[in-house]
Amino acid sequence: MEEVNKAPHKPKSDIVTKFKVVRYGERYLSEDLAEQKLYCFRHQNAELKVTEGFIPIHFLSMLWLDEGQPLFLQTRCGGFDEFGYPVGPEYSISWKAEREPVPPVGIGEDVSWLSNLDDLWIAALNYFERKNSLSEETLDYLDADPFVLFGLDDYVTQQALRKLEKVPALMCEGTASTLEEWGYYLRIPPEETAALWIVEAFAESELPKPWTCYKGAGSIVCFFRSDTGMVTWKHPFYDYFRQMRDFCRQAIPEQVIQVRITRLLWEYESSRIETEHYQEPLVSPEYVEKLAKIFGYDLKREGCIVRNLRALLKVFARTYRATQDVDMNDVLVGAETLERDTAKYVEMKEEWGDASKLEAEFLLKDLTNGKITCVNCETTALCYCLECKDYLCLECYDALHQKGGRLYHAPFKLVICALCLDQPAKLHCNFTDKHLCKRCYAFEHIKGMPPDGKENPPRIIEYDKQYMRYATFAKERSELRASMAPLDQDEEVDDYASVLSTDWHPFYDSRGVKYYHNFLTGERMRQSPRRVPTTTDPGAPPDVKDKSHRNTEMDPALQPLHLNGFNSLDTGLRACKEAAADPNKRGRMRYGHYRINMPNEVPEQ
Write down the domain spans for the chain. Answer: 19-159, 167-249, 253-345
Bridge partner residues of 525 (DSSP): 516
Q: What is the mean pLDDT of residues 75-85?
A: 88
Whether the pLDDT of residue 1 is over 60: the answer is no
- pLDDT confidence of residue 23: 92
Among 32-46, 54-68, 267-281, the minimum mean pLDDT is found in 267-281
Among 298-302, 323-327, 358-362, the minimum mean pLDDT is found in 358-362
Continuous segment of H or E residues that includes residue 383: strand 383-385
Whether the pLDDT of residue 485 is over 90: the answer is no
Cβ–Cβ < 8 Å for 565, 435: yes
Higher pLDDT residue, 580 or 50?
Answer: 50
- pLDDT confidence of residue 482: 58
For 114-168, give the DSSP string.
BS-HHHHHHHHHHHHHHHT-S-HHHHHHHSS-HHHHTTTT-HHHHHHHHHHHHS-
Q: What is the mean pLDDT of residues 461-472?
A: 74
Whether the pLDDT of residue 408 is over 80: the answer is no
Q: What is the mean pLDDT of residues 345-367?
A: 65
Whether the pLDDT of residue 241 is over 50: the answer is yes
* Selection from 244, 215, 221 nearest residue 168 by Cα: 221
- Integer Rg of the chain from CA: 37
Higher pLDDT residue, 364 or 219?
Answer: 219
For residue 387, the number of C-alpha atoms closer than 13 Å in the C-beta half-sphere is 18
Rounded to the nearest 10°, the torsion over CA 290, 291, 297, 298 is -30
Tell me the C-alpha distance between 42 and 30, whole Å: 19
Among 99-108, 145-154, 271-280, 408-417, the minimum mean pLDDT is found in 271-280
Cis ω before 599 (30° cut-off from 0): no
Cβ–Cβ < 8 Å for 470, 563: yes
Cβ–Cβ < 8 Å for 103, 94: no
Please, which pLDDT band fits residue 18 given cuts at 50, 70 and 90? Answer: confident
- pLDDT confidence of residue 12: 52
- pLDDT confidence of residue 581: 65
Please, which pLDDT band fits residue 502 given cuts at 50, 70 and 90? Answer: low
Phi-psi region of 558 (alpha: psi -120 to 50; beta: other; left: phi over 0): alpha
Please, which pLDDT band fits residue 170 given cuts at 50, 70 and 90? Answer: very high
Higher pLDDT residue, 126 or 390?
Answer: 126
Whether the pLDDT of residue 602 is over 50: the answer is no
Whether the pLDDT of residue 491 is over 70: the answer is no
**18 Cα distance to chain centroid:** 41
What is Dmax (Cα atoms) for the chain? 129
Whether the pLDDT of residue 495 is over 50: the answer is no
* Selection from 110, 88, 93, 97 nearest residue 70 by Cα: 97
Please, which pLDDT band fits residue 2 given cuts at 50, 70 and 90? Answer: very low
Please, which pLDDT band fits residue 436 given cuts at 50, 70 and 90? Answer: confident
For residue 323, the number of C-alpha atoms closer than 13 Å in the C-beta half-sphere is 9
CA-based torsion, 8, 12, 14, 17: positive or negative: positive
Number of residues in the chain: 605
Q: What is the mean pLDDT of residues 569-594?
A: 49
Please, which pLDDT band fits residue 500 given cuts at 50, 70 and 90? Answer: very low
Continuous segment of H or E residues that includes residue 71: strand 70-77
Q: What is the mean pLDDT of residues 569-598?
A: 47
- pLDDT confidence of residue 545: 42
Query: In terms of C-beta distances under 8 Å and separation of at least 24 residues, what long-range contacts does 192-198 make, across chains too?
Result: 194/248, 194/253, 194/256, 195/245, 195/248, 195/249, 197/260, 197/293, 197/294, 198/241, 198/244, 198/245, 198/248
Continuous segment of H or E residues that includes residue 201: helix 196-204
Higher pLDDT residue, 411 or 257?
Answer: 257
> What's the one-letter identity of residue 129?
E
Cβ–Cβ < 8 Å for 227, 210: yes
Please, which pLDDT band fits residue 478 given cuts at 50, 70 and 90? Answer: low
- pLDDT confidence of residue 449: 83
Whether the pLDDT of residue 387 is over 80: the answer is no
Q: What is the pTM of this model?
A: 0.60
Mean pLDDT of the chain: 78
Tell me the C-alpha distance between 420 and 436, whole Å: 8
Number of H helices, E strands in the chain: 21, 19
